Chains A and B, each alone.
Chain A
Amino acid sequence: MRVPLLVAVLLALVPATAPAEELILSVAVSMKEGTEELGRLFVRSRPGVTLRYNLGSSGELQKQIEAGAPVDVFISAAQRQMDELERKGLILDGTRRVFARNVLTVVKPADSGLDLSKPADLLDPRVRRIVIGNPRTVPAGQYSEESLRTLGLWDRLQGKLVLAENVRQALDYVSRGEVDAGFVYATDAAAGKPRVKEAFRPGEDTYRPIAYPAAVVKDSRRPGLARAFVDLLVAPEGRTVLARLGFQPPP
């Protein structure tokens, strides 16, 4: 009886057969579906290549790269995080490309009876809790803060704000009905259906344009392959997939 157990333990210790080539992609969580779908396209023509997705808020992913995480491609939901990595010399020169844009939207639980049609409606006392991404690490939260400040609502809504660790957590809080409204990207609102519905979109002139940059990380061990993935993001096939998911093309 001991032998099978021993074999099982030994098998568990043997590393899974190493793939010929592996790319680690650090992806802003709002771009999850987009990158995964493009990833399938990418590996179809490249047998032996495996993609690993490391999802999180762009700020969190940025800090991981600064701390030396073995990442090949960084896909951010805002220029700020990419700017900081570039300034620190952690991005491979000439590989940075903006490949998509997005817009902010306010969502509410699908069964919510609240009539939210404009930003000022958020002041309604029946709106008790509003979730935004934590502006310290989450770009969606940074854009939301910008928009609320422009609208003159930021200070007045402080008591209602709940902060999420990334934009998908914000979406989750809304879909679970834990909050009455939340700021997410239009593409998240689409991904969150039918549990959430869009209430209104804050004016696009109230926040900086939302641009998604991608780049190869300086210490990538497979810069050629990594560059090919970034190229796919801006190629026509990539554009088509992203457009279908609701992302807008880069300017």
Chain B
Amino acid sequence: MTAENLSALALSLRVAVVATLLNAAIGIPLAYVLARRRFRGRGLLDLLVTLPLVLPPTVTGYYLIVLLGRRGWLGGPIYGLTGWSITFTWYAAVVAATIMALPLLVRTARAAIESVDRDLEKAAFTLGRSEWRTALEVTLPLARNGILAGLVLAFARALGEFGATLMLAGNIPGRTTTVPLAIYTSVQTGETGDALVLVAMLTVLSCVVLIAAARLGARAT
């Protein structure tokens, strides 16, 4: 494998691992809140989290630029204060991958949490556990396999993210060129041989991930 492909693979793994950790931190609480709480704006929150699943990734990428670009709503003030901008950095790839993977985790984890027997939660609550501790000690452990399946799917999605990443992070070899982008460049430049190794690798990895998710999902029920 070429040095460029190797660096793309290393970067992809790093991006996917960080994005999955962020997904766990953001997605599991989100899934819990969507599954168990009723509040104003719940439908909107659900919609916002799910949108990246159905929108073309380029549209999600466009919104990310509007939000985080050097002149973005959030990116503008950050750039003004620090002179730093997330675009064309590997953090941008992490953000894109995180947003694109989030709906997969939230939807899977939410379904798992919703299927937890409410009587068990009520029992814990009646026995003096706060809602917070009930969630941590009863609900989430019971939904564990579903949540893990969601995390595995999120990892796979993060590893394969292309469109939003290209728009926010660009395609800079050694810096933001992840495996999907490296494949794109290789095919465009006619170096299909280089691409084949990566294509095979991503295919095998995705199969492994899907099997793992299916097993975890089967145990969850």
A interface residues, Cβ below 8 angstroms from B: 59-60, 63, 66, 128-129, 134, 136-137, 161-165, 176-178
B185 partner residues in chain A, CB cutoff 8 A: 134, 136-137
Contact in complex: B190, A178 (CB < 8 Å): no
Interface string of B101-142 (1 = CB under 8 A from A): 000000000000000000000000000000000000000000
Q: Chain B's interface: helix, strand, loop or mixed, by majority?
A: loop
Contact in complex: A163, B188 (CB < 8 Å): no
Q: Can you list 21 contacts pairing A with B, beta carbon distance less than 8 Å? A: A59-B188, A59-B189, A60-B188, A63-B189, A66-B190, A128-B83, A134-B185, A136-B189, A137-B185, A137-B188, A162-B88, A162-B172, A163-B170, A163-B171, A163-B172, A163-B173, A176-B65, A177-B69, A178-B70, A178-B71, A178-B85
Contact in complex: A178, B188 (CB < 8 Å): no
A161 partner residues in chain B, CB cutoff 8 A: 172
Contact in complex: B189, A177 (CB < 8 Å): no
Contact in complex: B88, A129 (CB < 8 Å): yes
A5 to chain B, nearest CB (A): 21
A155 to chain B, nearest CB (A): 15
B172 partner residues in chain A, CB cutoff 8 A: 161-163
Contact in complex: A165, B70 (CB < 8 Å): no
Q: Which of A63, A128, A164, A176 contacts B190 (CB 8 A)?
A: A63
The range of chain B's interface size is: 10 to 19
A136 CA / B214 CA spacing, docked (Å): 41
A178 partner residues in chain B, CB cutoff 8 A: 69-71, 85, 87-88
Known: A128-B83, A129-B88. A137 touches B189 (CB 8 A): yes
A111 to chain B, nearest CB (A): 9
B interface residues, Cβ below 8 angstroms from A: 65, 69-71, 83, 85, 87-88, 170-173, 185, 187-190
A134 partner residues in chain B, CB cutoff 8 A: 171, 185
A164 CA / B171 CA spacing, docked (Å): 7
A165 CA / B69 CA spacing, docked (Å): 18
A136 CA / B70 CA spacing, docked (Å): 27
Shortest Cβ-Cβ A-B pairs, 4 listed: A63-B190, A177-B71, A162-B88, A136-B189
Most buried by A among B70, B71, B87, B187: B70
B64 to chain A, nearest CB (A): 12
A164 partner residues in chain B, CB cutoff 8 A: 170
Contact in complex: A176, B71 (CB < 8 Å): yes
B65 partner residues in chain A, CB cutoff 8 A: 176
A63 CA / B85 CA spacing, docked (Å): 34
B113 to chain A, nearest CB (A): 38
Contact in complex: B170, A176 (CB < 8 Å): no
CB nearest neighbor in B for A59: B189
A175 to chain B, nearest CB (A): 10
CB nearest neighbor in A for B166: A165
A164 CA / B185 CA spacing, docked (Å): 11
B189 partner residues in chain A, CB cutoff 8 A: 59, 63, 136-137
A66 CA / B189 CA spacing, docked (Å): 11
A163 CA / B171 CA spacing, docked (Å): 7
B88 partner residues in chain A, CB cutoff 8 A: 129, 162, 178
B167 to chain A, nearest CB (A): 10
Q: Which of A60, A137, A176 contacts B70 (CB 8 A)?
A: A176
A31 CA / B166 CA spacing, docked (Å): 24
CB nearest neighbor in B for A60: B188
A63 partner residues in chain B, CB cutoff 8 A: 187-190
A144 to chain B, nearest CB (A): 15
